[in-house]
Amino acid sequence: MRRVLAFSLLALLLPVSAWATGINLINNHGSISVSNSGVVSVGSQLMAFNGITPSPNHSLGGVSFSTGACLTNCNGGWASGNSTFSGVGSSFVVTGKGKDLPVQLRTVIFSGSFVGDVTWTFNGKDSKGRLSYTLSGTIQGTLWDGRVVTGTTTQNFFSASGQINNGIGHIDVGNTNLPVPEPSTLGLLGTGLLGVAGMVRRRMTSRA
């Protein structure tokens, strides 16, 4: 009886702990175009969701993003220097699909936009001799379950054979973190359940 009760309480408390954790996403593949109008991604794939990875030769969905217009070091200056892009008119969308994800995540996982300016950093050449860049910024939007969250994303690109001079880059890897605070109501529910468990245990002990 005690074991059944313990498992029942654990099952009720698991959603509480799940709500308290953050969401970590990894994307790669795909390309970007960069111009004075902004940075736009094409074809990037979602490859990890909180440790969940896809089956071989598959993905968990897609990640697409765009910034607003270039604000500093424009007109191709981003090819060999640091630039800033506006968050106005931007977007950041994560879509889930496939059997590797739970059913509730096979939809638009996150839909939002950049908040504030977006930073473009020129990192020089990487170990393969390619030009390396990083785009980073704060994003805000709505999760699949209606929660509004604010997080950060860092997207790493490379460009070979001077493609960046034509506004072309390739996505190496992107990392997005969306902290998800625990709702106070669930916290109270968890505390209440623990209290009930303690009372039942004391009663059962006194009857033994």
Do 41 and 66 contact (CB within 8 A), yes or no? yes
Q: Assess if residue 156 is contained within a domain.
A: yes
* Average pLDDT of the chain to the nearest whole number: 85
* Total structural domains within the chain: 1
Identify the pLDDT of residue 185: 37
- Supply the pLDDT for residue 160: 86
Which of 134, 174, 186, 188 has its CA nearest to residue 158?
A: 134
Single-letter code of the amino acid located at 63: V
User: What count of Cα atoms within 13 Å lies in the side-chain half-sphere of residue 181?
Assistant: 7
pTM of the model: 0.80
Q: Using one digit for the tens of pLDDT, what is the confidence trace for 19-42? A: 356 999 999 999 999 999 999 999
Query: Cα–Cα distances in Å, from 60 out to 5, 40, 143?
Result: 36, 21, 16
Structure-block tokens of residue 206? 């006194």
Domain carrying residue 120:
22-183
Q: Is 198 domain-assigned?
A: no
- 14 falls within a domain: no
User: Which range has the worst mean pLDDT, 19-23, 92-96, 169-173?
Assistant: 19-23
- Domain assignment of residue 201, yes or no: no
> For residue 34, what are the CA distances in angstroms to 42, 103, 105, 109?
11, 35, 31, 26
